[in-house]
Amino acid sequence: MGEPNTDAGDSAPQNSIPQIPNGDQSSLVILAIDDDPGILGFYQAALGALGVQLVSSTDPKQALDLIAAHNPNLVILDLTMPEINGMDLLNQIKSRDPQTRVVMITGNYAIDTAIKAIQQGAIDYVCKPVSAEKLQELVSRVRTLLSQEERTRNLERELAHVSSLEGIVGHCPRMLEVFDLIRRVAPHFRTALVIGEPGSGRKAVARALHNLSLGQEHRFATFKSDVLPEKLAELQVAESPAALLSGAVVGERELLQSEMSGTVFLDEVGDLSSAAQLSLVRLLDQIEAGNQGAPVGIPQDLRVIASTSRDLQAQSQAGKFRADLWYRLSVVQIYLPPLRDRGDDVLLLARLFLTQFGARYGKAARHISRGAEAVLLAHSWPGNVDELESVMQRACMLTGGNLLDLGDLPAGLVLPGYGDEVLFRGTRGLSTSSGQTSSSTETLRQRVRDMLEP
């Protein structure tokens, strides 16, 4: 007793066994755990006719080892068994890998138990005797799920390839519009304004504009507008317009000399003082004149990209930002949507970061659990892409298996209001800090279950 079994039993119930249709020979692996060898024998006969490989055992203590060894597409689990209750075993299985599909089998239907099983991750709850038709239905359902998942993976790989631009990833309609606008204006622009919340990827857009411009082989220099010194207003722009920015940030003088061509990126241009705004207007005038063959010493292929998280048009109308500077910068405007408005781009980016940081830290995680995906989609991401990147970097450091789960995410993300002093381990349980009691731990578990209910 207790040895894994792949042979048909002699005491299979006398149910008619449907034959597998021609052309549907894709093999599935199903693990069945039941203390009744006769039931396992029936499963073997019925599932064998459906082209399914069955691994079975009458010993529930072997379940986790068999799952690890065979990676089954479905686990059929008896509810009432000696030594280990089926519900407890379900919890152990889902704690090990939340993606494992489990069907609970019971001799006596109880609505409360059925609800509990579904809440704890079972995909179905079936009463004995299990008919061959019901097994056929389960097999068909699993094949459909696998087919959908494979299509989703293929689509994601496709989208990651076609819906990216110079390192920017996204496939929501608004990001595709951004990609299209960048491609169309990059060969022609002299000035551009990138508008978006902090952390939304404004510098990445500026870099993409530069990389697709005619000056892509030249320098890309970044300057923080809030540290531009007041003395810029004192510079004689006509003498050396490029020098206006060469002293903008200590240590970056060599990046922008008067003979240089390339792109200057001014981050948060709305933070410029009024004097610096005037100097920038003069510089843009000189650049435009220089590109038309006027003064000597003007960079012949210099582009300026500014970014802002403010409504500069409204500020210019209110007299808080120079209108002439607004007009010069806004010839090309690119609006970046916040991450909360980008739908499934959250998961696309999360998987991208999982791949990047997983490789960096030597982690085996290649997928994100459904529970973790639900939490990522529910978060409002006030820090946008930068916040998501930070969260995924931390999660990749913490994860230990092949699946990034709830417990790898910050506690405050999983349960808003709880800080990281509570190291939430998802379905694997909670480790409590000195301020957390066992009863409050159970309360947290229940809150997560409630939150993830459909």
- What CATH code is carried by the domain that includes residue 301? 3.40.50.300
The answer to whether the predicted template modeling score (pTM) of the entire model surpasses 0.75 is no
Q: What H or E segment, with its residue span, contains residue 266?
A: strand 262-267
Distance CA 371, CA 349 (A): 17
pLDDT of res. 121: 79
Q: Which of 357, 441, 434 is nearest to 398 (CA)?
A: 357
> Are 137 and 225 part of one and the same domain?
no
Chain length of the chain? 454
Q: Which of 77, 86, 79, 81 is nearest to 56 (CA)?
A: 77
Alpha helices in 33-125 (DSSP H): 37-49, 63-70, 86-96, 111-119
Q: Which of 157, 159, 200 is nearest to 176 (CA)?
A: 159
Domain range for 89: 28-156
Burial class (CB in 10 A: 0-12, 13-18, 19+), 434: exposed
- 77: tokens are 């689990």
Mean pLDDT of the chain: 76
> Are 132 and 189 part of one and the same domain?
no
pLDDT in tens, 163-222: 778 889 898 899 999 999 999 999 999 899 999 999 999 999 999 999 999 888 888 888
> Are 116 and 222 part of one and the same domain?
no
Distance CA 352, CA 350 (A): 5
Q: Is residue 23 part of a domain?
A: no
Q: Is the pLDDT of residue 425 over 50?
A: no
Q: Using the 3D structure, point to which of 322, 337, 352 is the last residue of a domain.
A: 337
The band of 5, judged by pLDDT with boundaries at 50, 70 and 90, is low
Q: How many domains does the chain have?
A: 3
User: What is the rounded average pLDDT of the residues 155-162?
Assistant: 60
Helix (H, G, I), strand (E, B) or coil at 103: strand
> Are 284 and 350 part of one and the same domain?
no
Q: Is the pLDDT of residue 371 over 90?
A: no
More confident call, 175 vs 256: 175
Q: Residue 129: is the preceding peptide bond cis (ω within 30°)?
A: yes
Amino acid at 229: P
